[in-house]
Amino acid sequence: MSSAPEPTEIRLKRAERVLEVSFADGAVFALPAEYLRVESPSAEVQGHSPEQRQLVSGKQQVGISQIEPNGHYAIRISFDDGHSTGIYSWDYLHRLGREMDYRWAAYLRALEAAGATR
Task: Give 41-100 pLDDT, tens digit per residue.
Answer: 988 888 788 888 899 999 999 999 999 999 999 999 999 999 999 999 999 999 999 999
7 phi and psi, to 5 degrees?
A: -70, 145
Q: What's the fold here for domain 7-112?
A: NE0471 N-terminal domain-like (3.30.2020)
Mind listing the pLDDT tens digit for each residue in 13-35?
Answer: 999 999 999 999 999 999 999 99
Cβ(50)–Cβ(102) below 8 Å: no
Q: What value, to the nearest 5°, has the Cα angle with vertex 71 and ends 31 and 34?
A: 20
